[in-house]
Structure 1
Amino acid sequence: MPPQGAIIAVLALAGLASSFMFTLVVPIQAKLPELLGASREDTAWVVTATLLAAAVITPIAGRLGDMYGKRRIVLVLLAALILGSVIAALSQGIIGVIIGRALQGAVTGVIPLGISILRDVLHEDRVDSAIALISATLGVGGALGLPISALITEYSDWHVLFWMAAGLGVVVFTLVLWIVPESVLRTAGRFDFIGAAGLAIGLIGILLAISRGNEWGWGAPPTLALGLGGLLVLLVWGWYELRIAEPLLDLRVAARRPVLLTNIASVAMGFSLFASNVAYPQLLELPVETGVGFGLSLVAASLIIMPAGLVMMVLSPFSGRLASTVGPKVLLVLGAIALIAAYGFTLLFSSEVWHIFVANILIGVGIGFGYAGMPMLIMRSVPQSETGASNGLNALFRSLGTSIAAAVIGAVLATYSVSFGDTQVPTNTAFTLSFFLGLGAAVVAFVVALFIPRHGAPQERHPSLPD
């Protein structure tokens, strides 16, 4: 077997590549209508497609990894990233870019799968620190990727972004194939295709309603039909999953108190993280003349945001040691406290750029601890044959939190805005309310984390099959 440090490094790089996909098009997002010759509503699908693909594919990929080999599914997802990047890089119109971005979104599943691989192949003394590092890549990839994307966009053609993503995918694919061993654990049974289809349809309906509700109107028939229809499909899907012998997701395992409370905390923490991702950059970039912003360029603003990702990376080995000593629940509680401190600081001090810098560092501490603790709590509460699917479900709940934050904070900033030239800009009230919402979500994560119980080792649901 390759050195364990090499395995961890390769899976961390895969996580960075995955999270980078979410900030890849941020620098060109406002210019997409002009670049692609399409309406702003149509170009919004360049972002929405990635979100939907990530949410749908991640829990399904987790189950496929449990059944057919986690490394094998990681390689499939990386191949999808490469294919999607090439399609988008070769496209001049919107259809190809949307297809490419959807395929890029599928790669999000490599992070929970990578975490599950660590449990299968590493010595138990290294598992917690390694999980903390892989979890940190959820924030690090985006924080580091934003200034890189901004610089490329400023000095080169936008297609280069996708060629870079394709090259990164090829490098990671090669390293995973070479370095990462296949775990010997398999879950017996047949894949639940009906369950996968039901989960996909339900999630797509709800996420479309959340992500497009601002544009369509929250009371508009399409929004209500998709949201309520998706919820109904998920209720039927849950009823079905509880009645078959080999479900896509074992909802009885997901309903265990430690797992359920961790997933609820994940929604709140995902909301708290993304509230800052939406509000802080806008506050930094708005013109000084508006009386609200600091007038920074996208590159300068991204450099203020970037240190949060570095903090997550630096904290990861400490998070692992702390989890081994006092347990992952403490990490989640500390993460929520740091987020509360970040938003509390912002509400008191936000008149200087360094105030936002300090608050964002606290965000990095909070997410570094919280995102490290969540997969540890999940894996200590589920059978080893369920780790891929359960981590995928936890990643889905984090995505739900970020999706809700994007819609809610976006609506707040749009509602409380004033005219400035030819555009509408958010007011101080809009940002204050956004920070209160981020604070409220952090408080919810803190309270829920306090009620997560200590638990014993889980029992296996299925027998394991050798490689």
Structure 2
Amino acid sequence: MSEAVLSPVRIGRLSIAALGILALALGTLQSVVEPALPLLQRELGVSPSEGALVGNTLLVTGAVVAPVAGKLGDRYGGKSVLVRLMAVVSAGGLLAGLAPNLPVLLLGQVLQGVMVGALPLSFILVRKHLPTGESQLAIGVVMALFTGGGMVGTLFAGPIAEGLSWHWMFALPTIAIIAMTLVITRLMPHDPPVQADNRIDWPGMALLSGTLLAFMLGLVKVTGDGLPPLAIGAIAVAVAALATGWVAVERRAASPMVDLRMLAKPAIWHSCVLTLVITTSFGMVAFLLPQLFALPADGYGFGLNTTDIGLFLLPGAIAGAVSDSLGGVAARRFGLRAVLIGGAVVTVATVIALVSLHTAEWQLVVAKVLIAIGAGVGSTALLTRPPPPSRPGTPASPPACSW
């Protein structure tokens, strides 16, 4: 395809290597929290419910940035947007690395969440500056390194946190991100905007961010602080008001970040329900397993340190990486609905089985592998759904934002 190369300036191997190493560092940064979560709770003196915010706040920003990252790249240029997003991620990583308390760490995690825009923006740059065959190879390399970064973070978070301190497990990947961003700024040619009139739904982004943050913080307060009914009601009203405002804005926006009208189609809302089941099950297991591994061995747990927790979680990270590559193939062969149902069945069955089967380490390892396979296949299959032709840059449904 002649339009695959939109710029006469080709990028060299150093530029592709910088994108790949950047993806590796980002994958590492986003994965260090899970094995170190019990350690972070001890060091910061917070409850498990508050500790759960450390991993989930990153997802809030990601859910908002994911639907619009490509639009931003088209409107302002992929390199320009990528460099600015990485500056935000770097600030978040440094904040997390220097955090003296939970609020500062949470702020760092919120800023790091914009990293989800790095992959689509990297793909934009590669496609603009390389022919089709070479661009596909480069995209595969970047994706593989991002996945590998997740394994690196899972494996080395413990040794870094215990050998140096937990601050360094955020700082080291951040240093690599800063270095690679500088290399990209220097070597990557500028790419002109291709859709200057591609409007961004800024009010929708702000309201969705507020809704998700209010819901998460409210959930932690309700479950952890024993709030009186009046305070619980006030939190519920605030979340409902923000959500209602977001829906109203999305329904009126000329270019919404999520096309809510698509929810009227049964296939879409069925996918929403199945995706909610998969993500909820996956989130429960991802939070509970490190807690069980870290609890004292004379109780319900196994008394493992952070390094050992990372080793036991590594098979699940590998299984998730493999299943990510199979989701699209499975969707084409069996259909999206069948794959989502299969993923939901596997994840729910795993959670139910864990209720009674959690007395041996191997049982938790198998549970992590199964939940990673179910969620990985389901999420990748969902992302293969093409957007509506009239809105090629707009997700068809909220699940497209949640992954």
Asked if these proteins are the same fold (TM beyond 0.5), I'd say yes
Question: For the Cα contact (< 8 Å) 1:339–1:363, is it kept in 2?
Answer: yes
CA distance, structure 2, for counterparts of residue 27 and residue 375 of structure 1 = 32
One-letter amino acid of the structure 2 residue matched with residue 20 of structure 1: S
Query: How far off is 1:364 after superposition?
Result: 2.3
Matched with 2:388 is 382
Matched with 1:206 is 215
Query: How far off is 1:142 after superposition?
Result: 5.2
Does 2:399 align with 1:394?
A: yes
CA distance, structure 2, for counterparts of residue 151 and residue 56 of structure 1 = 33
Change (3 A) 1:240 1:300: closer
**Normalized against structure 1, the TM-score is what?**
0.66
Structure 1 unaligned spans of 5+: 399-467
Query: How far off is 1:194 after superposition?
Result: 3.2
For 1:353-390, what per-residue CA distance to the aligned partner results, in whole angstroms no more than 9, with x for missing partners? Answer: 2222222222222122112111112xx13348543x52
Matched with 1:407 is none
For 1:40-76, what per-residue CA distance to the aligned partner results, in whole angstroms no more than 9, with x for missing partners? Answer: 9998875675454444444454653454345543332
* Mapping for residues 178-193 of structure 1, pairs under 5 Å: 186=195, 188-193=197-202
* Mapping for residues 5-44 of structure 1, pairs under 5 Å: 13=24, 16-17=27-28, 19-20=30-31, 22-23=33-34, 26=37, 28-33=39-44
Query: How far off is 1:181 after superposition?
Result: 9.1
SS of structure 2 residue aligned to 1:288: coil
Does 2:86 align with 1:81?
A: no
SS of structure 1 residue aligned to 2:384: helix
For 1:113-163, what per-residue CA distance to the aligned partner results, in whole angstroms no more than 9, with x for missing partners? Answer: 668889999959x98xx79x959968x755642342211111113332232
One-letter amino acid of the structure 2 residue matched with residue 200 of structure 1: S
One-letter amino acid of the structure 2 residue matched with residue 31 of structure 1: R
SS of structure 2 residue aligned to 1:287: coil
For 1:245-293, what per-residue CA distance to the aligned partner results, in whole angstroms no more than 9, with x for missing partners? Answer: 3444433346554444333322221111111112222223322322x22
CA distance, structure 2, for counterparts of residue 31 and residue 282 of structure 1 = 11
* Mapping for residues 23-172 of structure 1, pairs under 5 Å: 23=34, 26=37, 28-33=39-44, 50-59=58-67, 61=69, 63-65=71-73, 67-70=75-78, 72-90=80-98, 92=100, 96-110=104-118, 134=143, 144-172=152-180
Query: How far off is 1:109 after superposition?
Result: 3.9
Which of 302, 316, 334 does residue 308 from structure 1 map onto?
316
Matched with 1:421 is none
One-letter amino acid of the structure 1 residue matched with residue 296 of structure 2: P
CA distance, structure 1, for counterparts of residue 343 and residue 48 of structure 2 = 37
Which of 250, 255, 276 does residue 259 from structure 2 map onto?
250
CA distance, structure 2, for counterparts of residue 275 and residue 122 of structure 1 = 43
Change (3 A) 1:365 1:68: same
CA distance, structure 2, for counterparts of residue 260 and residue 247 of structure 1 = 18
**Normalized against structure 2, the TM-score is what?**
0.75
Matched with 1:227 is 236
The number of aligned residues is: 390
CA distance, structure 2, for counterparts of residue 24 and residue 354 of structure 1 = 16
Query: How far off is 1:348 after superposition?
Result: 6.0
Which of 258, 270, 288 does residue 297 from structure 2 map onto?
288
CA distance, structure 1, for counterparts of residue 343 and residue 145 of structure 2 = 12
* Mapping for residues 286-435 of structure 1, pairs under 5 Å: 286-290=295-299, 292-343=300-351, 345-346=353-354, 349-377=357-385, 380-383=386-389, 386-387=392-393, 389-390=394-395, 393-394=398-399, 396-398=401-403
CA distance, structure 2, for counterparts of residue 335 and residue 11 of structure 1 = 30
CA distance, structure 2, for counterparts of residue 353 and residue 42 of structure 1 = 25
Which of 234, 247, 256 does residue 238 from structure 1 map onto?
247
Matched with 2:5 is none
Question: For the Cα contact (< 8 Å) 1:82–1:166, is it kept in 2?
Answer: yes
Query: How far off is 1:180 after superposition?
Result: 10
Question: For the Cα contact (< 8 Å) 1:88–1:96, is it kept in 2?
Answer: yes
Question: For the Cα contact (< 8 Å) 2:263–2:269, is it kept in 1?
Answer: yes
One-letter amino acid of the structure 2 residue matched with residue 217 of structure 1: G
One-letter amino acid of the structure 2 residue matched with residue 204 of structure 1: L
Change (3 A) 1:109 1:369: same
CA distance, structure 2, for counterparts of residue 295 and residue 304 of structure 1 = 13
CA distance, structure 1, for counterparts of residue 49 and residue 356 of structure 2 = 36
Question: For the Cα contact (< 8 Å) 2:62–2:114, is it kept in 1?
Answer: yes
Question: For the Cα contact (< 8 Å) 1:312–1:365, is it kept in 2?
Answer: yes
CA distance, structure 1, for counterparts of residue 113 and residue 102 of structure 2 = 16
How large is the RMSD of aligned CA atoms in angstroms? 4.5
